[in-house]
Amino acid sequence: MRTTAQNAELALLLEVAGTPKPGNVDRHREYEDLRFEHFLAGAVGARAGLEMAAAGDPLGESFLATIEGMSEQRGGNTQFGALLLQLPLVAAAGDENRSLSPEGATAVVDATTVADAADFYRAFEAVDVAVDDPPEGMEPLDVRRGSDAVPELESRGLTLRDVMERSTDRDGVAREWVEGFERVFAAADAVEQGEGPVADRAARAFLELLADEVDTFVATKHDRATAESTSERARAALDGEIDPETLADEFVAEGINPGTTADIVAAGLFVALERGLDV
Amino acid sequence: MRTTAQNAELALLLEVAGTPKPGNVDRHREYEDLRFEHFLAGAVGARAGLEMAAAGDPLGESFLATIEGMSEQRGGNTQFGALLLQLPLVAAAGDENRSLSPEGATAVVDATTVADAADFYRAFEAVDVAVDDPPEGMEPLDVRRGSDAVPELESRGLTLRDVMERSTDRDGVAREWVEGFERVFAAADAVEQGEGPVADRAARAFLELLADEVDTFVATKHDRATAESTSERARAALDGEIDPETLADEFVAEGINPGTTADIVAAGLFVALERGLDV
Contact between residue B88 and residue B268 where contact means Cβ atoms under 8 Å apart: no
Average pLDDT, chain B: 96
Q: What pLDDT does residue B132 have? A: 82
Window 4-43 of A: residues touching B by CB (8 A cutoff) are 6, 9-10, 13-14, 17, 27-28, 35-38, 40-41
| CB nearest to B37's CB, from A1, A17, A73 | A17
Reported pTM: 0.97
Q: Over the stretch B121-137, which tens digit does the pLDDT of each residue have?
A: 999 999 999 888 887 87
Kindly determine whether residue A37 and residue B45, on different chains, have CB atoms separated by under 8 Å.
Answer: no
Cα–Cα nearest to B140, from B125, B151, B129: B151
Contact between residue A191 and residue A272 where contact means Cβ atoms under 8 Å apart: yes
Contact between residue A237 and residue A207 where contact means Cβ atoms under 8 Å apart: yes
The radius of gyration computed from the CA coordinates of chain A, to the nearest angstrom, equals 17
Containing A65, the helix (H) or strand (E) segment is helix A59-70
Give the chain B residue whose CA is nearest to the CA of A12: B40
Kindly determine whether residue A40 and residue B278, on different chains, have CB atoms separated by under 8 Å.
Answer: no
B44 vs B12: CA distance, rounded Å: 9
- Alpha carbon B277 to chain centroid, angstroms: 20
Kindly determine whether residue A36 and residue B44, on different chains, have CB atoms separated by under 8 Å.
Answer: no
Give the chain B residue whose CA is nearest to the CA of A36: B17
Kindly determine whether residue A17 and residue B36, on different chains, have CB atoms separated by under 8 Å.
Answer: yes
A82 vs A162: CA distance, rounded Å: 19
Kindly determine whether residue B37 and residue A198, on different chains, have CB atoms separated by under 8 Å.
Answer: yes
What are the phi and psi torsion angles at A170 (to 5°)?
-130, 10
Q: What pLDDT does residue B15 have? A: 98
List of residues 6+ apart from B113 with CB closer than 8 A: B58, B60, B159, B160
Angle, helices B36-54 vs A4-17, to 10°: value is: 140
Q: What pLDDT does residue A88 have? A: 98
Q: What pLDDT does residue B179 have? A: 96
Strand partners, B31: B34
pLDDT in tens, chain A (279 residues): 899 999 999 999 999 999 999 999 999 999 999 999 999 999 999 999 999 999 999 999 999 999 999 999 999 999 999 999 999 999 999 999 999 999 999 999 999 999 999 999 999 999 999 888 887 878 999 999 999 999 999 999 999 999 999 999 889 999 999 999 999 999 999 999 999 999 999 999 999 999 999 999 999 999 999 999 999 999 999 999 999 999 999 999 999 999 999 999 999 999 999 999 999
Containing A89, the helix (H) or strand (E) segment is helix A80-94
C-beta atoms surrounding A252 within 10 Å: 18
Measured in angstroms, the CA of A223 and the nearest CA of chain B are apart by: 32
Residue type, A153: L
Q: Over the stretch B94-120, which tens digit does the pLDDT of each residue have?
A: 999 999 999 999 999 999 999 999 999
Measured in angstroms, the CA of A261 and the nearest CA of chain B are apart by: 21
Residue A1 touches chain B, beta carbons under 8 Å: yes
Residue of A25, A30, A44, A50 to mutate, interface with B, max B Cβ within 10 Å:
A44
Contact between residue A59 and residue A160 where contact means Cβ atoms under 8 Å apart: yes
Q: What pLDDT does residue B134 have? A: 84
- Higher model confidence: residue A198 or residue B170? A198
Q: What pLDDT does residue A124 have? A: 96
Measured in angstroms, the CA of B6 and the nearest CA of chain A are apart by: 6
Contact between residue B210 and residue B231 where contact means Cβ atoms under 8 Å apart: yes
Asked if the model's pLDDT at residue B1 lies above 90, the reply is no
Residue B1 touches chain A, beta carbons under 8 Å: yes
Measured in angstroms, the CA of B17 and the nearest CA of chain A are apart by: 7
Q: What pLDDT does residue A143 have? A: 93
List of residues 6+ apart from B276 with CB closer than 8 A: none
Contact between residue B264 and residue B36 where contact means Cβ atoms under 8 Å apart: no
B53 vs A152: CA distance, rounded Å: 46
List of residues 6+ apart from A245 with CB closer than 8 A: A20
3-state secondary structure chain B: CCCHHHHHHHHHHHHHHCCCCCCCCCCCCCECCECHHHHHHHHHHHHHHHHHHHCCCCHHHHHHHHHHHHCCCCCCCCCHHHHHHHHHHHHHHHCCCCCCCHHHHHHHHHCCCHHHHHHHHHHCCCCCCCCCCCCCCCHHHCHHHHHHHHHHHHHHCCCHHHHHHCCCCCCHHHHHHHCCCHHHHHHHHHHHHCCCCHHHHHHHHHHHHHHHCCCHHHHHHCCHHHHHHHHHHHHHHHCCCCCHHHHHHHHHHHCCCCHHHHHHHHHHHHHHHHCCCCC
| CB nearest to B279's CB, from A73, A198, A278 | A73
Contacts of A40 in chain B (CB under 8 A): 10, 13-14, 17, 279
Q: What pLDDT does residue B136 have? A: 81
Kindly determine whether residue A40 and residue B27, on different chains, have CB atoms separated by under 8 Å.
Answer: no
Kindly determine whether residue A14 and residue B40, on different chains, have CB atoms separated by under 8 Å.
Answer: yes
Instruction: Identify the three-state secondary structure at position A222.
Output: coil
Kindly determine whether residue A74 and residue B10, on different chains, have CB atoms separated by under 8 Å.
Answer: no
Residue B65 touches chain A, beta carbons under 8 Å: no
Q: What pLDDT does residue B277 have? A: 97
Task: Give whole-number Cα distances, B49 to A99, A238, B86, B108, in Å.
Answer: 28, 42, 11, 16
| CB nearest to B44's CB, from A2, A28, A69 | A2
Q: What pLDDT does residue A1 have? A: 85
B138 vs B143: CA distance, rounded Å: 10
Contacts of B14 in chain A (CB under 8 A): 37, 40
- Alpha carbon B167 to chain centroid, angstroms: 15
Residue B198 touches chain A, beta carbons under 8 Å: yes
Measured in angstroms, the CA of A71 and the nearest CA of chain B are apart by: 10
B26: left (phi over 0), alpha (psi -120 to 50) or beta: beta
A241 vs A29: CA distance, rounded Å: 22
Q: What pLDDT does residue B265 have? A: 98
Cα–Cα nearest to A249, from A8, A66, A21: A21
Q: Over the stretch B213-272, which tens digit does the pLDDT of each residue have?
A: 999 999 999 999 999 999 999 999 999 999 999 999 999 999 999 999 999 999 999 999
Instruction: Identify the three-state secondary structure at position A275.
Output: coil
